[in-house]
Amino acid sequence: MIIRIIFTLLMAISFSCEVSRPQGYYSNDNSTTLGLLDRLRSIPGLRIGGVGERDAQVYLRGQTSIKYYQEVVFYVNGTRVGNYSSAYQVVQPENIDSIKLLKSASELSLYGSDGRDGVILIKTKN
């Protein structure tokens, strides 16, 4: 009887930890020496292709269409900028406050068909 009570208590604790976990993945690296691409590389679940920082392509790992990979969509301070190349031109790395990757169905549903392949939200300091 005592073992069953302890087991039940432990199960309740582990479930409460799962519920309180925030959705998405945040990168709040305050380093001003890292570029945008280096910060994105630190986020689990992203695949980065292409050559060089300016022309890189960013995908959700495991997301493909029949013909090819689809890039994630970038939003900077709530405004859609498009793919990584567009975000690279708009964002200055030293002004990045946070980066959030959205990849769950519930998060992406807010962005409709535009977000079906993943969304990266970048918030700047200014």
Q: Which tops the pLDDT comparison, 22 or 54?
A: 54
**Per-domain boundaries in the chain:** 23-124
CA–chain centroid gap for 54, Å, is 19
- 3-state SS assignment for residue 43: coil
Residue-wise pLDDT tens digits, 83-122: 999 999 999 999 999 999 998 888 888 998 888 889 999 9
Residue-wise pLDDT tens digits, 7-18: 454 444 444 333
Q: Which tops the pLDDT comparison, 33 or 17?
A: 33
Per CATH, is 23-124 categorized as 2.170.130.10?
A: yes
Q: Rounded distance, CA 5 to CA 7, Å?
A: 5
Neighbours of 107 (CB within 10 A): 17
Look up the pTM and report it.
0.72
